[in-house]
Chains A and B, each alone.
Chain A
Amino acid sequence: MEKSIEDIWKQGFLKSDALVAPKVNNLYSQKSMHIIDTFKRMFKINLIAIVVFSIAFLIATIFLGIPITGVMFFVTLTVLVIINKRLLDSLKKIDTGASSYEYLKSFNDWINQQVSINKKFATFMYPVIFLSMILGFWFKDAEGIPLGERLVGEVLKGFPDIYMVQGIPLIALIVILLIVGVLAFFGGRIYQWDLNIVYGRIFKKLKELMADIEELKE
């Protein structure tokens, strides 16, 4: 007679070797493989790296004579760090002991919030970083006068009839605005693309798990 799965389960676990727990030595010192812990760890490392980089970059730009670039970089990255530090704090509040649905939903909501905020920020950050480079070099001292003005002077020698707006060639303004527009347009997409490469499978899996539980709820 065929055994039922209940019988296989019960009889199988009656054997003494079936429920031998593995050793759990030095457990707390081990690096977690859990997705939330991994996110927390990566987030923290990223934030520290951004802070270190922005300070080092600020110092470097002062020495290079382009402090405007350094200051704009520093301010932008500081705002980014503050926003993401708050996100990290909210990630810590996710309760592992909640029901699977609530747990996955909290995590999914956190991911969506994180992606949405950082996408919006990327739309603003990439153009600001580009402009910080332009402004930094424009105002860089070049033998007593700003580098930008010196450059415009050189251009005017070659093209004396070039159309100017507030002392800047119109063509240069158009090119800068175009680049700013392209960076603003693609900033969010670049961030999303980058994130999908690393975490695309996790996001997909989370959606599948939640869809399965939601089907059970209905």
Chain B
Amino acid sequence: MSTDFYTTSITPFSGIIIKLCRAYTNTQEDFEDYYQEVCLQIWRSKENFRAESEWSTWVYRISLNVCLTLLKKNKNNSELFASDSLLAEETEDNHAFADESLNVLYDAIRKLSEIDRAVITLYLEEKSYKEIAEIIGTNPNNIGVRVKRIKTRLKNILDGKIN
């Protein structure tokens, strides 16, 4: 991968890639693996970009698709999908951010289903329901309802943990 491609095409969106990867990983090592894999897949797929959507939307799609279907580099090879092993590792490393409230919020997000994690991360990034639906490939009308449901669930999980 050329430094140019990384600087011009990935760096401006590294924020959302980091935020998405954090939602699907629970350790620094996994996070770094996921981030690298997303960058690699963006680089490999760049020829397929047809400007039918914004470059940013395309980057979000790849990031999400990679996170949803990434094989976890596993110590015992017994778990193949990342999310399956999250619960077991919950206590491993939950201090990725200096802000403790953000760590607690991420902890709660990781308790959601894979699709809900994507919906809430994109919502918190202030993406419109239409754009979220476009990235996931679903109906924009249902995104609002789902966001409400996720927020209620998150509030229940966070209840009493954050002041």
Are A34 and B41 in contact (CB-based, < 8 A)? yes
Are B48 and A96 in contact (CB-based, < 8 A)? yes
In the assembled complex, A5 has its CB within 8 A of some CB on chain B: yes
Are B138 and A216 in contact (CB-based, < 8 A)? yes
Inter-chain contacts of A24 with B (CB < 8 A): 1, 6, 35-36, 39
Closest to B100 in A: A12
B88-124 vs A, CB cutoff 8 Å, 1 = contact: the mask equals: 0000000001110110110000000111101000001
Are A11 and B99 in contact (CB-based, < 8 A)? yes
- Looking at the assembled complex, report how far the CB atom of A196 sits from the nearest CB atom of chain B, in whole angstroms: 12
Are B80 and A201 in contact (CB-based, < 8 A)? yes
Are A5 and B105 in contact (CB-based, < 8 A)? yes
Bound together, the chains give a CA A201 to CA B44 distance in angstroms of 26
Bound together, the chains give a CA A35 to CA B71 distance in angstroms of 6
Q: A17-B97, A202-B81 are in contact. Are A217 and B138 (CB under 8 A)?
A: yes
Are B138 and A213 in contact (CB-based, < 8 A)? yes
Inter-chain contacts of B39 with A (CB < 8 A): 24, 27
In the assembled complex, A36 has its CB within 8 A of some CB on chain B: yes
Inter-chain contacts of A100 with B (CB < 8 A): 61, 64-65, 68, 115, 118, 135-137
Closest to B113 in A: A212
Inter-chain contacts of B40 with A (CB < 8 A): 27-28, 30, 32, 34
In the assembled complex, B154 has its CB within 8 A of some CB on chain A: yes
**Which of the four size classes fits the interface of chain A?**
35 or more
Within residues 80 to 112 of chain A, which ones have a CB less than 8 A from any CB in chain B?
A: 95-104, 107
Bound together, the chains give a CA A5 to CA B150 distance in angstroms of 11
- Looking at the assembled complex, report how far the CB atom of A95 sits from the nearest CB atom of chain B, in whole angstroms: 5
Are A12 and B37 in contact (CB-based, < 8 A)? no
Are A95 and B45 in contact (CB-based, < 8 A)? yes
In the assembled complex, B84 has its CB within 8 A of some CB on chain A: yes
Inter-chain contacts of A15 with B (CB < 8 A): 97-99
In the assembled complex, A120 has its CB within 8 A of some CB on chain B: no
Closest to B40 in A: A27
In the assembled complex, A6 has its CB within 8 A of some CB on chain B: yes
- Looking at the assembled complex, report how far the CB atom of A206 sits from the nearest CB atom of chain B, in whole angstroms: 8
Are A28 and B43 in contact (CB-based, < 8 A)? yes
Are B115 and A212 in contact (CB-based, < 8 A)? yes
Bound together, the chains give a CA A24 to CA B33 distance in angstroms of 10
Inter-chain contacts of A32 with B (CB < 8 A): 37, 40-41
Inter-chain contacts of A19 with B (CB < 8 A): 14-15, 18-19
- Looking at the assembled complex, report how far the CB atom of A123 sits from the nearest CB atom of chain B, in whole angstroms: 27
Q: A107-B69, A201-B79 are in contact. Are A11 and B101 (CB under 8 A)?
A: yes
Contacting residue for B114 out of A12, A202, A209, CB 8 A: A209
Inter-chain contacts of A33 with B (CB < 8 A): 33, 37, 70-73
- Looking at the assembled complex, report how far the CB atom of B99 sits from the nearest CB atom of chain A, in whole angstroms: 4
- Give the 4 A-B CB pairs with smallest separation, nearest first: A99-B137, A12-B102, A101-B137, A12-B99
Query: Residues of A at under 8 Å CB distance from B?
Result: 2-3, 5-6, 8-9, 11-13, 15, 17-22, 24, 27-28, 30, 32-36, 38, 95-104, 107, 199, 201-202, 205-206, 209, 212-213, 216-218
The contact sample of 29 A-B pairs, CB cut-off 8 A, is A11-B102, A19-B18, A22-B35, A22-B36, A24-B39, A27-B36, A27-B39, A27-B40, A30-B40, A32-B40, A34-B66, A34-B70, A35-B71, A95-B48, A96-B45, A96-B48, A99-B134, A100-B68, A100-B118, A101-B136, A103-B137, A104-B69, A202-B80, A209-B114, A212-B114, A216-B136, A216-B139, A216-B146, A217-B138
